[in-house]
Structure 1
Amino acid sequence: MMEYLVYLSELSPRIKAAGIEHLAMTAVAVVAAIAVAVPLGIYLTRRRELAAAVFGVVNSIQTIPSLALLGFMIPLFGLGFLPAVVALFCYALLPILRNTVTGIESVDKGIKEAALGMGMSEIQILFKVELPLAMSAIMAGIRTSTIIIVGWATLAAYIGGGGLGRLIMAGMSMGREQLILAGAIPAAVIALSLDALLGWLEGRLAIPGQKQGGV
């Protein structure tokens, strides 16, 4: 155990740099997915005839093996950070989109009718009624996507995307378990930390008395 701790201290600059890259990939992919999936989810609640087609496309992305999807990015974007982020963005869409649609559609119609009767416009109802009541479900989708992306980001090293996957790959190629753990353990810590942070934020955004959790 002591030898492993000494080994980690020697690797700490590499672990720190890889961890920052890992966080950057995760943050960019998830923020981009939020920027696309939440407005798209809102739109689909107004145009239900398009929902099946859109979900069909997004669901089909999830069926593509991660390494294959990363490989598809190379002819389009080359190697490095960008293709890795694009692939991770594709994987991050579904939970956020699904929970946005489900959360908004679960808002009691009577509440929306009452808001309409008070003279609120459609935009006001969206931002003052629907989104606040659906926020817990949306945040649950964001938490799910974030945890998924932290895990998938370890594979970005295969196309030069960097991150903690570089340490894992190096450890596998050299048969060094300590090096594998030097990448895997920080990735797990990042996932748990982000889940706790987003869970706290979900609780802060939830309307008092509203049930939290995924939909």
Structure 2
Amino acid sequence: MVAYFNEYGSQMLSKSAEHLYISVIALLLGIVIAVPLGILLTRTPKVANVVISITSALQTVPSLALLALMIPFFGVGKFPAIIALFIYSLLPILRNTYIGMKNVDANYRDVAKGMGMTNFESIRMVELPLALPTIMAGIRLAAVYVIAWATLASYIGAGGLGDLIFSGLNNYQPPLIFAGTIPVTILALAADFFLGILEKHLTPKTTREAN
């Protein structure tokens, strides 16, 4: 085991850092775009089905095909990989944000309105905290997806742990495959675990007790 880490440890660390960088940027972009859009769609129900259908259609495009489609527009490297992974992160976050906000009891909105809150204040102070567990479930799912799919980004020169996996496959070297797959698994599990802790800290106590 010591000899294994002496040989592959530095590669695992550097490739894990690349992998995490690509995944985090893509996920953050997904959150910044999908959460506000999901909230907005609850106010425009006629548009909601169209937008969610489009994001669902994008989700059906094979990941390798989507990465390949990025090349004519953005070339190769980390940037096109981040764009592709961002697109894949949209659906679970957008869908869960929309569902979470729609499922907030109308009585809470009425109470907020009765207290003189504006629509924005009602969203920020009442509806969003109540919908947070559902939204975070979508973010956690997207995080696991993005970290797993980021392994394919090596095909377009983005680096990451996929370099080790595919190098091992191409050269028939199982130790390289393990050097890539084990950190990917650990990163995905760690992301889900820490996002779960973040969810508990952000969710209001009354909401946790209700669930």
Q: CA RMSD in A?
A: 1.1
For residue 210 of structure 1, report the CA deviation from its aligned partner: 2.6
Instruction: Choose which of 19, 33, 46 in structure 1 pairs with 2:30.
Output: 33
Structure 1 residue ranges, 4+ long, deviating more than 6 angstroms after superposition: none
Structure 2 residue matching 1:161: 3-state secondary structure? coil
Where does residue 154 of structure 1 map in the other structure? 151
Where does residue 124 of structure 1 map in the other structure? 121
**Counterparts of residues 174-193 of structure 1 (less than 5 Å):** 174-193=171-190
Structure 2 residue matching 1:36: 3-state secondary structure? helix
- Counterpart Cα distance in 1 of 2:114 and 2:207: 24
Where does residue 53 of structure 1 map in the other structure? 50
Instruction: Choose which of 92, 101, 106 in structure 2 pairs with 1:104.
Output: 101
Where does residue 169 of structure 1 map in the other structure? 166
Report if the CA contact (8 A) 1:167-1:182 is conserved. Answer: yes
- Counterpart Cα distance in 2 of 1:65 and 1:117: 48
Where does residue 138 of structure 1 map in the other structure? 135
Where does residue 60 of structure 2 map in the other structure? 63
TM-score, normalised via structure 2 length: 0.96
**Counterparts of residues 72-111 of structure 1 (less than 5 Å):** 72-111=69-108
Where does residue 114 of structure 1 map in the other structure? 111
CA offset digits 1:96-155 (Å, max 9, x no partner): 000100111111101110110111111110100011111111111100000000000000
Where does residue 201 of structure 1 map in the other structure? 198
CA offset digits 1:25-50 (Å, max 9, x no partner): 11000000001001100110000000
CA offset digits 1:142-171 (Å, max 9, x no partner): 000000000000000000010000000100
Report if the CA contact (8 A) 1:8-1:182 is conserved. Answer: no
Q: How many residues are paired up?
A: 209
Q: Please list every run of 5 or more consecutive structure 2 residues that lacks an aligned counterpart in the other structure.
A: none
Q: Please list every run of 5 or more consecutive structure 1 residues that lacks an aligned counterpart in the other structure.
A: none
CA offset digits 1:64-90 (Å, max 9, x no partner): 111000000000100000010000000
TM-score, normalised via structure 1 length: 0.95
For residue 211 of structure 1, report the CA deviation from its aligned partner: 5.0
Where does residue 13 of structure 1 map in the other structure? 10
- Counterpart Cα distance in 2 of 1:148 and 1:9: 30
